[in-house]
Structure 1
């Protein structure tokens, strides 16, 4: 939970953003980028660039690897593969989270797969055993194997941070990039959701197009009433103001209206004291965590929910994989509520799989023809412009430059408070 000054400053920042949304909504305006941007088609199709992005973005930058509620109890673990790197997350005995290279220090075999709860992991190849804090505690047939220093053969540890009910890890054991600097204070605002106390209702994986093609959609309200006319409706809003903390962004519709918690009623925020603005208003819109996370609020099954979409590049330039986590403020209490939550989750599967990603795959296939030199991002698509600017900047930055970039961005964010 947020505490003291951090809570006050974060709430004030949320109020400030919503005041801006209301002002634009009443004036019928929106924030516009300086100009229409041209993005080279190679940004989506070039195989060499795609491999470089995996190495220099996904293996160097902190990634949001799990919501905290996916590992709620001591002993809980999750093994996953990210851009070819085997990662093991554990909830240790003291309640903290560990992030390890999921490779036995004997021959490199993954020590565990899938999810579960365990205090120890025994490698299925030769039987070496590790505690869930990474320590090597058992070498099979030690007299036959020979003397080794077990303290030097623990699972390799990745930098890890748990904040705002979310878990970040950097897939480089030697990284000196501060995860706190990288987040630029954005996690203080994400804490307004209260994810620390939420539950994981369900999750699933969806195949998608090129990772940037897929991610563009999370930063784009312009397409909503067109592509999603049959799901959200053709009269749905298509405008978005964006707010940035380094490469991380919140996008929200400029409007004075917000949904009342737990109903379809729309509230006019100008008629309500700010102290009474519902949490839905304060966190409305889409919150993105560079380079691969989208968070959007929903209501179904008797309580607040959120879809956390976790996007990773796939095996080829035209593929990606998204894990959809549906988290809820509280566990559904009745069968009817559980059915409502499941219907909401299934609806979002249809929207993303059959509309967003299906379109993205067709778009990517067309771009691979080589018949276009660039694609366009309009002045009303500033969020997408910012994303591509940061992707290009970070893929070309050295390790030292990364540290300097985010130290500076975090300093700016702190000064703004």
Structure 2
């Protein structure tokens, strides 16, 4: 689907895996202590050092396309408001009124030129300025210029909107992404149409995210849903800073590739092979012209819970009611696969870890993506000491 000739070598490697019935393998297996998924202190440190310090992909251009559009949401326990001003710039704020700390916007997306706190009616502009104090003549003198919404670092790139959840933090987004979004920009993802959203909850956020990072489980866990399209235990990994592009071979890769000129294989994403793009620490993007799924995973209120938001896109909006109904069916199908297969198993894993049956889990040589993800977690948890992990 994308036209990035830089994918040619990757496509050839994935085809070779399919021909030789093998997969990407590293030289070691790794163990992760069970406490990594259970311990309250570890969980609090992840929220503090990972989710509140790194750029998070919280929204897409498609959700805030027009001037005065907005998106309000909860992210890692914090209320966030993102707006696109009349100048076309996207900004982010803590969704907290400067008067008595109530929200100024309900969660969701929409169009508003002004945001009014539902508690006392103080109003704010899309660029965060305090515009009006309700019945100000009875309230007293205030300097409105000092009482705007608290702004968060925010930047838009490749059709995604990144926010750091700590005011005043420096955002060096290009350095953090390290070229990760080049192929999304090439696919013109910023112009794709928003289709809808689904939410679900599950086990510890890392238990859930581990499932997005390998295809070793496809045959066993998804025999009637994913496996008919995608070969099991055939995965290729590439890293971009802490992020990954994970390649999967479709079951008909040999047929599709043998019918095409070899020099065109790098242009055949979704025809013979697919990618899942992983944005550290918590986003998975499956890009396909039929329907694209962006999964955002956030720590829940306790270490044993996560909240996942699935958002769906397509290059063009629904053509008619029949097309819209078909897309709704596809969104329901993808949501149900995650809920009923992946996350139901994740809940069992959570109980298994809590049982104390084993002190650790094992990541095999074929699960390099999982190993790399945990290496990157350790890198940031240890205050970025030492070199950045690579694949």
Same fold (TM over 0.5): yes
Match of 1:356 in 2: 342
**Larger CA deviation: 69-78 vs 10-19:** 10-19
Match of 1:19 in 2: 12
8 A Cα contact 2:56 2:163, kept in partner? yes
Match of 1:365 in 2: 351
Match of 1:220 in 2: 214
CA RMSD of aligned residues (A): 2.7
3-state SS of 2:211 partner: helix
1:313 is matched with which residue: 299, 302, 309?
299
Match of 1:203 in 2: 197
Match of 1:3 in 2: none
Following the alignment from structure 2 to structure 1, what is the Cα–Cα distance between the partners of residues 381 and 304?
19
Deviations 1:192-224 (A, max 9, x none): 332111111111101111100000000010000
3-state SS of 2:4 partner: helix
Query: In 2 relative to 1, CA 24–284 (structure 1 residues): closer, same or farther, beyond 3 Å?
Result: same
Shift of 1:272: 4.7
Shift of 1:146: 3.2
3-state SS of 1:109 partner: coil
8 A Cα contact 1:207 1:322, kept in partner? yes
Higher helix share: 1
Q: Which runs of 5+ in 1 are unaligned?
A: 1-6, 260-264
Match of 1:229 in 2: 223
8 A Cα contact 1:297 1:307, kept in partner? yes
Match of 1:297 in 2: 287
3-state SS of 1:240 partner: strand
Query: In 2 relative to 1, CA 281–166 (structure 1 residues): closer, same or farther, beyond 3 Å?
Result: farther
Shift of 1:125: 2.0
Match of 2:235 in 1: 240
3-state SS of 2:270 partner: helix
Number of residue pairs aligned between Structure 1 and Structure 2: 388
8 A Cα contact 1:26 1:255, kept in partner? no
1:87 is matched with which residue: 80, 105, 124?
80
Match of 2:49 in 1: 56
8 A Cα contact 1:121 1:129, kept in partner? yes
Match of 1:107 in 2: 100
Following the alignment from structure 1 to structure 2, what is the Cα–Cα distance between the partners of residues 269 and 137?
63
Following the alignment from structure 1 to structure 2, what is the Cα–Cα distance between the partners of residues 275 and 23?
12
Following the alignment from structure 2 to structure 1, what is the Cα–Cα distance between the partners of residues 272 and 100?
50
Match of 2:66 in 1: 73
1:126 is matched with which residue: 117, 120, 123?
120
